[in-house]
Chains A and B, each alone.
Chain A
Amino acid sequence: MSSVLMVGVDGSECGERAVEFAARRARNSGARLYITYIIEWSPFTFSTAMENAERHQRREEEIQRAHSEIVDPVVERLKTEGLDVEGLVRHGHVADTLNSLAKSKGVVNIILGRQGTSKLKAHVFGSVGSRLVQSAECAVTVVP
């Protein structure tokens, strides 16, 4: 029985380090790997009627762009190495969505890069890593 890992990427260098870390472990253990990008989104925002009318189309575009610019290049690269990789793009609150997605995919370890957020920003908005560490139902690894 091989394990399942999930990496949260955000297109930054920290995300890249998390991918390398996870890929190394997957190579050694033969684990299945999910490369996940969460588009920050809240169901409780305010928008105009015009924006609502275009929302469905914008959402498709956002998902496509996240795939083509961030997730897919990583997935392709790791696939050529022979790893079992799949890319996922979702909308939602980043930490909560990673958690629920991990649960539904039977993930045993979520791997994140340490974010370079300032102390103040993390204090006000909370960082994805610390929120996830507190709420996750599986192991969380933060890669420095």
Chain B
Amino acid sequence: MSKSRVGITTLVSLLASFSVFAETGIDEKINIAVKPFADAVAGFVFSSFPVAGVPIPFVLVWLIVAATIFTFYFKFINLRAFKHGFELVRGDYHDPEAAGEVTHFQALATALSGTVGLGNIAGVAVAVSLGGPGATLWMILAGFLGMSSKFTECTLGVKYRNELPDGTVSGGPMYYLTKGLAEKGAGFAKLGKVLAVLFAIFCVGGSFGGGNMFQANQSFAQLVNVTGGDTSWLADKGWLFGLIVATLVGLVIMGGIKGIARVTSKIVPFMAIIYVTAGVAIILMNYSLVPSAIGAIIDGAFTAEGISGGVIGVLFQGFKRAAFSNEAGVGSAAIAHSAVQTNRPVTEGFVALYEPFVDTIVVCTITALVIIITGTWDPSVDPSAGVQLTSTAFESAFSWFPIVLTVAVILFAFSTMISWSYYGLKSWTFLFGENKFTDATYKVLFLFFVVVGSSMQLGAVIDFSDAMIFAMAFPNLLGCYFLLPVVKKELNEYWDDYKSGRLVKTRVS
């Protein structure tokens, strides 16, 4: 007891010292120091080539091409296994002897809490504004293809996971890239190591950036918005917000206070349900406008009047939104899914199909429909004001909704941070070894970036962190291509058993 109290006191004083950085205008210096490096990395990852006059970032093509190839290679697994995936989530094939272990449902719910968040709320509003209603159709298509990427990476995540000496289970691209490629021979083993190290470096970077600073920054922005904008008492107190959030995150990841994580992990799904229900309610209240909204989505996808870049511009906005929100191909989900209890890795792949489905095809589409139906989309929007746009759209139907949305945004951000702190930590310990010191170093750095993210306007750093998340897709998907035959073998063996009724169904419906 006294030990944990000392721990918390140290934590608080540590966090208090972070705020010094925030107050002394040091952000400008950090910005200047980091900018050339950040620009170089972001420039490389988001390096684009023009298609019909629209610059298309290479990473986006990389993600979509892989998702399309995986979809064809596994003969539309995203459709074929959709029903069976649901049976697995529902527990139809659950082994009663394994009661108490991590179920398919729990692994999926955990992975979803890491991806459902700002992207579904703010990002979609921006995509529809910049790309018009038609962007929605391309977003849905990209979500559909992304299901096959998740299937591939999550199957591999479970197949090559590690059971550590302390009894914990951990998996993810760093393990399947090393172990999986090593099975292919000495040359591949070396390639696998290089890819795994690259992945881990990018994942640590992404966990500080998109999985942390970006979340802190955007949730603070929304909080300031609802409390009165520039006139809000909170407007210049980002460091205070950062300190509070960092203390809460610190209590969870350092203090081992599981209660907070447990409460969050229960409230987050509840908030997601409120959000979806409110969205569906708005759509139903305006049911007469639904056919014309769907018409606008389909027409807009192919005509794109007045959208910069024409049809390619619309397609780009839709694909980008899907890729940013469901992270299919990035490799983060493979870490979250790998703790599931199963001796057939491919089952978790089937379950993972539901992640892009729920995230992109359900939640993002609902946001898009609400924005289109309420007519709140605005082609001149500042891309950083996405939350505000969605907030206005929902407010037009329910005046109290912005407050609920603020709570939702902060909670989603918090749970995304907890998830990414785990992904980052696993990558960090993969690079530097598993011990108390490396563990603590990572966590202190992580908390530092929470304060940095909410108190500073570090455009360059945020660009850099986004770039890091998408850079993860390069080593991850390259490795996945080489490991496709492994997944196919697992899939075919399992599918034969499933089709011939050799699997034990434990729940009769």
Contacts and interface: CB of A to CB of B under 8 A. Distances in A.
Nearest to A104: B96
A63 B335 CA distance: 27
B109 A49 contact: no
Contacts of B91: 43-44
A53 B168 contact: yes
A56 B167 contact: yes
A84 to B, nearest CB: 23
Interface in B37-95: 91, 94
A50 B169 contact: no
Nearest to A97: B99
A46 B99 CA distance: 15
Contacts, number: 96
A144 to B, nearest CB: 30
Given A51-B258, A100-B96, A46 B168 contact: no
B114 interface: yes
A111 B29 CA distance: 72
B276 interface: no
Nearest to B163: A56
Contacts of B114: 49
Interface stretch (B136-144, B263-271, B486-494): B263-271
Contacts of A43: 91, 94, 99, 103, 105-106
B414 to A, nearest CB: 11
B336 to A, nearest CB: 5
B335 A49 contact: yes
B215 to A, nearest CB: 15
A97 to B, nearest CB: 7
Given A56-B102, A92-B99, A51 B261 contact: yes
B452 interface: no
A13 interface: no
B374 to A, nearest CB: 31
Interface string B407-444: 00000000000110011000000000000000000000
B266 A46 contact: yes
Given A49-B336, A53-B169, A59 B101 contact: yes
B345 to A, nearest CB: 16
Interface string B310-333: 000000000000000000000000
Contacts of A134: none
Contacts of A50: 253, 261, 418, 422
A70 to B, nearest CB: 16
Interface in A101-123: none
Nearest to A54: B168
Contacts of A48: 110, 113, 252, 261, 265, 418-419, 422
Contacts of A49: 110, 114, 335-336, 339, 418-419, 422-423
Contacts of B94: 43
Contacts of B423: 49
Contact of A56 (B96, B101, B105, B269): B101
A57 B268 contact: no
Nearest to B264: A48
Nearest to B258: A51
A92 B99 CA distance: 6
Nearest to B91: A43
Contacts of B266: 46
Given A55-B101, A59-B100, A91-B100, A45 B168 contact: no
Interface string A29-64: 000000000010101111111111111110110110
B99 A56 contact: no
A60 B167 CA distance: 10
Interface string B434-465: 00000000000000000000000000000000
B107 interface: yes
B175 to A, nearest CB: 13
A90 interface: yes
A52 B265 contact: no
A41 B339 contact: no
Nearest to A57: B167
Contacts of B339: 49, 52-53, 55-56
Contacts of B169: 52-53, 55-56
Contact of A55 (B102, B109, B113, B336): B102
Contact of B106 (A46, A54, A57): A46
A89 B340 CA distance: 21
Contacts of B418: 48-50
B170 interface: yes
B230 interface: no
Nearest to A45: B106
A67 B439 CA distance: 33
B107 to A, nearest CB: 7
Interface in B311-367: 335-336, 339-341
A53 B339 CA distance: 5
Interface string B265-293: 11011000000000000000000000000
Interface of A: 39, 41, 43-57, 59-60, 62-63, 90-92, 97, 100
User: Nearest 7 A-B pairs (CB), nearest first?
Assistant: A91-B100, A57-B167, A52-B339, A91-B99, A43-B103, A49-B422, A59-B100
5 contacts: A43-B106, A49-B418, A49-B422, A49-B423, A100-B96
Given A47-B265, A55-B100, 12 more contacts: A39-B100, A43-B103, A44-B103, A44-B105, A46-B110, A49-B114, A49-B335, A52-B102, A53-B339, A55-B102, A63-B100, A91-B100
